Amino acid sequence: MSRTIRIKDVAEHAGVSVTTVSHVLNDVPGKRINAETRARVKASAAALGYVPNRVARSLRTRRSQVLALISDEIATTPFAGLMILGAQEAASKRGWLLMLVNTGLDPAYEAREIQALLQRQVDGFLYATMYHREVELPDELAGLPVILLDAVSRDPSIPSVVPDEVGGGRTAVEVLLASGHRRIAFLNNRDDIPASRGRLEGYRAALEAAGVGYHQSLVTYDASDSAGGYRAAAAVLDGTARPTALFCFNDRMALGAYQAAAERGLRIPHDLSVVGFDNQEIIADGLRPGLTTVALPHYEMGAWAVDTLIGSIDDNPQNDDRAQVVLPCPLVTRASVTAPGQTPG
């Protein structure tokens, strides 16, 4: 077992001091080193297979090149994966690593974990929630480099990135309007969160832009799961003046809506067009016909947050892309939308 080789070994091999090796390998600006020496050092390092000990470097520089992703609940949503993946790949691309901590909504536990991360010289924090919501930054993170991920603070000076719920809602309704639908119901989530507010706003904006009247009776509120979607769809389909299209708050509600439609003998999309939200592959791709839906930019949000966070750490302390950013929600077209049929009302 050959001993792991240190900078000192490289220095001896190249016949220079460790200082010079460090200067060369790190391309320290303003240091004058002969080109020949420079080459010799690099050759020695390569020959010996030298890799710097990051722990020692961290101790000296007080920088770890490690980011922490703190989240409320990693497990409960299938989006977590994409957000984490976006963050991880962006970090890796720049030579950084990502620590992962799940705090499960317990502030005391959260404080301890932040403590543990700070002990390890973590350079920055991603504070993520697993669905878009408003949060308060924990005191322990105040003043540290941090970006909110899929969450937003009341304090506008805290940078954050969230999906463009309004734009997504508008997109969903626009595709229905473009197919000729005029009676479009919105099966909304009953929780008062940014997603339900924003998507409703987008729904109304799209209708208004198209000169279609907004009817309160076409908007229902229920739980944001399959059962809620089933109930909401049942109510709106059994009501007077049945809509020709459904915009569902999310794909799970759309799943329930499919079931309600099937029970009523309505074929999708011929008798009823449906648009979802979230692009949960398992549902959207698993349903027959495939569900046209609006995707949340989880991967992009994770990547953006890491890029921005690293930027704000590396560059001058406070560059002004500190901001509350909103990322677009693209449409994913499948087969659940077509022109309204001529079935009598």
Partner DNA sequence: ACCCCTCGCCCAAACGATTTGGCAAATCAC
Partner DNA sequence: GTGATTTGCCAAATCGTTTGGGCGAGGGGT
* Binding residues among 241-280 for DNA as defined by CB under 7 A: none
Determine which residue in the list 287, 291, 301, 337 makes contact with its own copies, applying CB under 8 A.
287
Burial of residue 254, with CB atoms counted within 10 A of its CB: 0-12 exposed, 13-18 middle, 19 or more buried: buried
Instruction: Please tell me whether residue 296 adopts helix, strand or coil conformation.
Output: coil
16 touches, from its own copies, DNA, none (C-beta below 5 to 8 Å by class): DNA
Question: Per CB under 8 A, does 113 bind its own copies?
Answer: yes
Question: Terminal CA-to-CA distance of the chain, rounded, Å?
Answer: 81
- In whole angstroms, give the CA distance from residue 148 to residue 194: 15
33 touches, from DNA, its own copies, none (C-beta below 5 to 8 Å by class): DNA
Rounded least distance, CB 100 to its own copies, Å? 5
What's the one-letter identity of residue 71? S
**E-only strand ranges, 12-56:** none
92 touches, from its own copies, DNA, none (C-beta below 5 to 8 Å by class): its own copies
Q: Provide the angle, in degrees to the nearest 10, between the axes of the packed helices 80-93 and 298-314.
A: 40
Q: How many CB atoms lie within 10 A of CB 178?
A: 11
Instruction: Please tell me whether residue 122 adopts helix, strand or coil conformation.
Output: coil
Which stretch, 18-26, 29-37, 109-117, 319-327, contacts its own copies (CB under 8 A)?
109-117
Q: Contact 309/86 with Cβ under 8 angstroms? A: no
Beta-bridge partner residues of 298: none
Tell me the backbone φ, ψ of residue 135, rounded to 5 degrees: -130, 165
Rounded least distance, CB 325 to its own copies, Å? 22
For the chain, helix (H) and strand (E) counts, in that order, are: 12, 12
Binding-site string for DNA from residue 5 to residue 24, where x marks contact by CB under 7 A and - marks none: -xxx------xxxxxx-xx-
Size, binding site for its own copies by CB under 8 A: 55
Please say which residue, 65 or 160, places its beta carbon nearer to its own copies: 65
Pairing of strands 292-295, 331-332: antiparallel
Question: Per CB under 8 A, does 268 bind its own copies?
Answer: no
Which stretch, 19-27, 33-41, 52-60, 317-325, contacts its own copies (CB under 8 A)?
52-60
Tell me the backbone φ, ψ of residue 334, rounded to 5 degrees: -125, -125
Binding-site string for DNA from residue 61 to residue 80, where x marks contact by CB under 7 A and - marks none: xx------------------
Beta-bridge partner residues of 277: 294
Please say which residue, 37 or 259, places its beta carbon nearer to DNA: 37
Both tokens assigned to 127: 């504070």
Which stretch, 71-79, 212-220, 314-322, 325-333, contacts its own copies (CB under 8 A)?
71-79
Give 200's DSSP letter. Answer: H
- Residues forming contacts to its own copies in the complex (CB under 8 A) are 51-56, 58-59, 64, 66, 69, 74-78, 80-82, 84-85, 88-89, 92, 95, 97-102, 113, 115-121, 225-226, 230, 252, 255-256, 259, 262, 280, 282-283, 285-288, 299
**In the complex, which residues of this chain contact DNA (CB under 7 A)?**
4, 6-8, 15-20, 22-23, 25-26, 28, 31-34, 36-38, 50, 52-53, 56-57, 59-62
